Structure 1
Amino acid sequence: MNRSTRARTLTGTALALATAMALTACGGGDDASSDAEPKKQTKSSEAAAVKNPVVASYDGGLYVLDGETLKLAKTIELPGFNRVNPAGDEDHVVISTDTGFRVFDAARQEFTDAEFKGAKPGHVVRHGGRTVLFTDGTGEVNVFDPADLAGGKQPKTRTYTSAEPHHGVAIELAGGELVTTLGTEEKRTGALVLDKDDKEIARAENCPGVHGEAAAKGEVVGLGCEDGVLLYKDGKFTKVDAPDDYARTGNQAGSDVSPILLGDYKTDPEAELERPTRISLIDTRTAKMKLVDLGTSYSFRSLARGPHGEALVLGTNGVLHVIDPETGKVEEKIDAVGDWTEPLDWQQPRPTLFVRDHTAYVSDPGKRQLHSFDLDSGEKVTSVTLPKGTNELSGTVAGH
């Protein structure tokens, strides 16, 4: 990456926005909630399709916005705490509720008939044209092709049930291998790999507290541990040891064009809520970890990757840090929002980062605002003030 370091004072001038496509990070919470049915929408079939929709949750429902203008297209009433993740195509997102995963057609602003019921819906992972859902309460893993969501019907799925329910995660690779975590409700220990016929071909149980995943260039999968990162590469597991005895890297973000994973880095096992200032950069080529101190803390909703593989971190100082993953150098600082403090409760709102192609979306719940930024220029594209402050922030993303 050859980009100069520059701190920007951003303007509100709207710029042309590149067509939105692919890249995101994996969140780090445990539960979702909402067992209430959404209020029926009227004339939904007549609603104009939203271009490159962005979906944000608020206390009581969902906002659907145009990804280019940030114009509010629809408000969907849906009580409770609901999580939002890209489904893997240009139209849909997956909403996690108390009853399970529900597929929402964000372009047409309506729920479809596709649903995966189960207690405690957890991680949603997209990779290589496949989307994987992990239901913590049952240990069930469901894999589907997001192209099958067209038409609003239930997609054909590959299903695997873990030996024990746990807060887990899974990812399917191009050859059909399914990498999925091992654990119980009390203890998580590592991961195993199944071939396309669901035969176990690899196992590692040296990843205490396994949490979160990310894929790097060459389909190298990283899983966070409490003492480093577990890599699955070329058919076998490799452990990347952290420099500290306890070092939780439970949230990661990967890029198809970079061999280096971005992770958080927490070293206090007794903290009610640790607010780290260091991030981890895991080189999947050398199985080495580099730490970078940003001088500001961040949250699990602060990590993402840019279109060129750059590591992106939204700090509690309100700055979006653009980092060269090869060197760890902060190449650019984008003033996104004001100073903020991470709440003790992970379900409570805080500024959140969502990245799609060349655009970074940053929420400011305290001011009820949402901003978009052009990552190539570092300039603000546009902003919107919403009726209520938002919590989760996501949108449609086709591909990885």
Structure 2
Amino acid sequence: MTIPQHRLRRRATSAFAIAAAAGLALAACSTGSGEPAASESQSAEAAEASARLALTTDGGVVVLDAETLEPVGDVPIDGFLRVNPAGDGEHVFVTTSQGFEVLATGATSGDEPSLTGAVFEGDAAGHVVLHDGRTVLFDDATGDYWAFDTDALTDSDALPADMDAYESAAAHHGVAVELADGTLLSTLGDEESRTGVRHLDADGTELARFEECPSVHGEGVAADEHVLFGCQDGVLLFTGGEFQKLDSPDEFGRVGNAYVTDESPIAFVDYRDDPDAEGSLLHRVGMVDTAAGTWEILDLPEGVEYTWQGVERDHHGDAWLIGTDGALHMLDGETGELARSIPAIDAWEGPAEWQDAHPYLLIDDHTAYVTDPASSRIVAVDLESGEIVAEGELDAAPSEMALAG
């Protein structure tokens, strides 16, 4: 079975606050002649701009106003779709049969959502990684990946003019991340297996490698640029130019996805301890101290399970997961203790295949967005009060979502 794409995790900042700040900046600008900086129509357009959610469904992408959860437009696209934030406040990447297609959400302009025409072509477009102002896209079909400035996307059919291209030794389901010093970490593997990670300079010359991370998958960059990857038997850390392997406490202990913030050395990871388990449900969570080079495995309450797409970090660094009981459960970002539980949606069962629509969790500041495919709806939960502050009804079951704003 193809392993699901890693979910990008970055420190949450309020999209609403960003939009508000942008509006204040526009109001403060003026021309040298003393005329208003924007026309009435431009001001009205700016007033309509707000954070937006892009949700994939069977048949396309639906875009909602992130505050009201009212639909603002949809873009029909055939086939199985993935979606990832582009990191520039306006665009999202839609993974289609063509590759990574760029969709303008209208979050910064107030316009209706539409595909820009820009396509990073790939037969098996996979991971999207944002870090330190740089974006890396990985094509599993070739092992090729591209790195460029996160803010370089345009509303045209033109790709970023300044884009670096790299090749893997062989095609595989992989991932790469560019570090602040311009060097890269890229996975090793082929169509049969994946074995580890290599460290490359900006020209693609190999500096070091580590090949004892079977089934390497996903990445996460924690505080002080401590990078971790999941292995079938533990976690691989990269810090200060050195690799360090943390073995699983169980004979089989697979890690596939990391949930990090750029302010905390603590990373939460999904954890599977049964190699024969069917389906996508998990009942334990890993907690990695990337600074100390240690980790522990946390047990969830009996009857509470989750999937890789139902975990997020909030702006405090705490981890939240949407459990099969329909509640949001908070794990303290420093101790790992289960601190709170908030009812959100009805109880649900795990998907037969990971591609099947099942609850998806996204957190922005103190608002948690939870999809409920069984009822074709989405809810917004205020994590401070525990109240549902908005609900949205959809025409089709939502699968994945990404925020722009």
Shorter-chain TM-score above 0.5? yes
Q: Name structure 2 gaps, 5 residues minimum.
A: 1-13, 20-43
Kindly indicate whether residue 310 of structure 2 is the aligned counterpart of residue 305 of structure 1.
no
Kindly indicate whether residue 284 of structure 2 is the aligned counterpart of residue 278 of structure 1.
yes
Higher alpha-carbon Rg: 2
CA positional deviation for 1:76: 1.2
1:227-242 matches, cutoff 5 A: 227-242=233-248
CA positional deviation for 1:274: 5.3
CA positional deviation for 1:99: 1.6
Change (3 A) 1:380 1:278: same
1:1-400 matches, cutoff 5 A: 18-19=16-17, 50-107=49-106, 108=111, 109-152=113-156, 153-155=158-160, 156-273=162-279, 275-295=281-301, 296-396=304-404
Spell out, residue by residue over 1:182-206, the C-alpha distance to the aligned partner (whole angstroms, 9 max, x if none).
0001100000111223221221101
Equivalent residues of 1:50, 1:106 under 8 A apart = no
Spell out, residue by residue over 1:84-131, the C-alpha distance to the aligned partner (whole angstroms, 9 max, x if none).
000111100000011211111111411113211111111111111111
CA positional deviation for 1:359: 2.0
**Separation in 1 of the partners of 2:368 and 2:296?**
25
CA positional deviation for 1:306: 0.6
Spell out, residue by residue over 1:150-206, the C-alpha distance to the aligned partner (whole angstroms, 9 max, x if none).
343311311111010000111111111111100001100000111223221221101
Q: Which has the higher helix share?
A: 2
Change (3 A) 1:83 1:20: farther
CA positional deviation for 1:47: 9.1
Match of residue 9 from structure 1: none
Give the SS at the match of 1:168: coil
Higher relative contact order at CA 8 Å, sep ≥6: structure 1 or structure 2?
1
Match of residue 31 from structure 2: none
**Separation in 1 of the partners of 2:293 and 2:219?**
16
Change (3 A) 1:300 1:129: same
Change (3 A) 1:128 1:203: same
Change (3 A) 1:368 1:20: farther
Letter in 2 for 1:75: D
Equivalent residues of 1:50, 1:65 under 8 A apart = no
Q: Name structure 1 gaps, 5 residues minimum.
A: 1-15, 22-45
Equivalent residues of 1:18, 1:359 under 8 A apart = no
**Separation in 2 of the partners of 1:96 and 1:306?**
26
Change (3 A) 1:319 1:190: same
The percent identity for this pair of structures is 43
TM-score with structure 1 setting the length: 0.86
Equivalent residues of 2:309, 2:360 under 8 A apart = yes
Give the SS at the match of 2:17: coil
Spell out, residue by residue over 1:311-368, the C-alpha distance to the aligned partner (whole angstroms, 9 max, x if none).
1111111111111132111121121111111111111100110122332110001111
Give the SS at the match of 1:80: coil
